[in-house]
Amino acid sequence: METQHIDSPITSFYRNKSVFVTGATGFLGKVLVEKLVRSCEVKHIYILLRSKRGKSVERRLEEFIQNDVFSACDPIKLSSTIIALDGDLTQEGLGLSSSDRQKIIDEVSIVFHSAASVRFDDPLKDCLTTNVKATKWVLELCQDIANLEVFVHVSTAYAYCQKPISGEVIYPMQVNVDEMLEASETMDNETFEKMYSKYFEDRPNTYTFTKALAEQYLKNHGKGITIGIARPSIITATWKEPVPGWGDTVNGPSGACLLGSLGIARTMYFKPNCISDLIPADTVVNGLIAIGWYMANTHAGQSNGEKMKVFNLTSGETNPVTWEQFLSYGREAAVESPSLQMLRPPVKVMQGNHVSRFDHLITKYFSELLFAYLIDCILFILGQQRRLVRLVGKMHSGFELLTYFARRQWSFPCDNFNQLSDSLTEEDKLKFNIDISTINWRNYTHRLYLGIRKYLLKEEDSTIPEAKKRMTWIYIGYYLVQFSFLSIIMYIFCKPLFRLFLH
């Protein structure tokens, strides 16, 4: 008997529809666009691009579709599906021309807003523009779209990180988002920061604060529109799709894994036993696409009542992994498949309930910064570019921003997301996998490291045998230097004793 192919309800929903995606050139945005092209049979995907560093929108689009993330897509289909519009997220109305705006209004029926500033230390006013005003402008565009079915907004699980338990609800805030937006138009940066930073409510940075404000704005002004708010936790490299371990960012855990594997990072002020709450980018993207389908179908034809729902996309409640486990798995992978750019052996990961701040600071300044100055001095003598001190400085700044999240632990109930997962057909559970419980974190972290090696360090797997030989000599040289240094120290301190005994 011939087996009948069962169509995917999610693919059926997206088929031959046009989608508008913001943040398409970002890490998550690339994975989202790729999945929409490869698995959803959409008609067109409109993305925002702007001329940058002398490159036209057309040239940037050519470079965009040549990215490794699109290697599994049909090139002809990719080129015909993605349409770049000249726009700017930080400009009123997204910087769109009237003709391009009308094109979206007439043709698009699904919107994904994944654009955001993920720099935790951005000035408040700048972050407000990128994360809140941009959301406002996207929502205003959605309100004009003739046949809008759903608007999926990407927030963060840490929008209310001052709460140890952050459920799938939009919590009230002490500040009025509309008043803040109005004040930002007339106040200078310093005055604005002084006036509104007191409303952070123990949030650690402008990123989490403005992501919460964006949710507040949607809650206040999104009535009548079907909106799904997705709150992923810490997004990391892909798990399975389109290729395992793909990533193009050194932010967060991937950066820690990369710098640790090269022997540059030796310490981090964190709590090893805290749950890290990592979630792969492809799991997030499958969740976003599923949320779009679920919300549109759940609220189809509904004119009254609540048409907004929040979804926590996190792993800690279902399949937890601690920081110690993640970093240890990363070290395992770095020793098994070392990089040609390794400078010294990867350090063993700290264990226990906490890391001593004193030990952390000693290691930070002597084993990391002093080492960086030593290497840069050698490079200067050899007439080569000095860069390690600058790199270590950036690493320290990045780790400081990560410290808040690496020393705390949250509970993110996922009732709405679990309900969505249960509603998927067997076909869609395979095609749009959001089952976090099946992730083997050791295997995943090894893939993540190999992805770092291939996509960030540009080292093919064929170079691993050569890198292993090089690592052996690095270990020998490293321990010889340590032995020589300790011998000199012992000689200096023990020399008076030898003289005393001899006389």
pLDDT tens-digit map of 199-224: 999 999 999 999 999 999 999 999 98
Strand order in the sheet with 227-232: 82-86, 44-49, 18-22, 108-113, 150-154, 227-232, 308-313
DSSP character at residue 250? -
Instruction: Categorize the per-residue pLDDT at 488 as very low, low, confident or very high, splitting at 50, 70 and 90.
Output: confident
pLDDT of residue 303: 58
pLDDT of residue 309: 95
Helix, strand or coil, per DSSP, at residue 270: coil
CA 434 to chain centre: 17
**Beta carbons within 10 angstroms of residue 445's beta carbon:** 27
How, if at all, do strands 234-236 and 278-280 pair? parallel
Residue 450 has pLDDT above 60, yes or no: yes
pTM of the model: 0.92
- Distance (Å, whole) CA 234 – CA 120: 13
- Mean pLDDT estimate for the chain: 91
pLDDT of residue 353: 76
Beta bridge partners of 110: 19, 150
- Distance (Å, whole) CA 408 – CA 161: 10
Residue 358 has pLDDT above 50, yes or no: yes
The 3-class secondary structure across 228-269, one letter per residue, is EEEEECEEECCCCCCCCCCCCCCCHHHHHHHHHHCCCCCCCC
pLDDT of residue 484: 83
Residue 4 has pLDDT above 50, yes or no: no
CA nearest neighbour of 407 among 200, 236, 204? 204
119 against 381, higher pLDDT? 381
Residue 473 has pLDDT above 70, yes or no: yes
The model's pLDDT over 269-295, given as tens digits with 9 standing for 90+, comes to 899 999 999 999 999 999 999 999 999
Domain 9-244+276-320+410-435 belongs to what architecture? 3-Layer(aba) Sandwich (3.40)
Domain boundaries, the chain: 9-244+276-320+410-435
Tokens of 46: 């409109």
The model's pLDDT over 73-120, given as tens digits with 9 standing for 90+, comes to 999 999 999 999 999 999 999 999 999 999 999 999 999 999 888 778
DSSP character at residue 225? S
Q: Which residues contact 470 (CB under 8 A, 6 or more apart)?
A: 338, 340, 342
Is residue 435 within 8 Å of residue 287, measured between CB atoms?
A: no
CA 11 to chain centre: 26
**Is the previous residue joined to 242 through a cis bond, with omega within 30 degrees of 0?**
yes
From the number of C-beta atoms within 10 Å of its C-beta (0-12, 13-18, 19+), residue 273 rates as middle
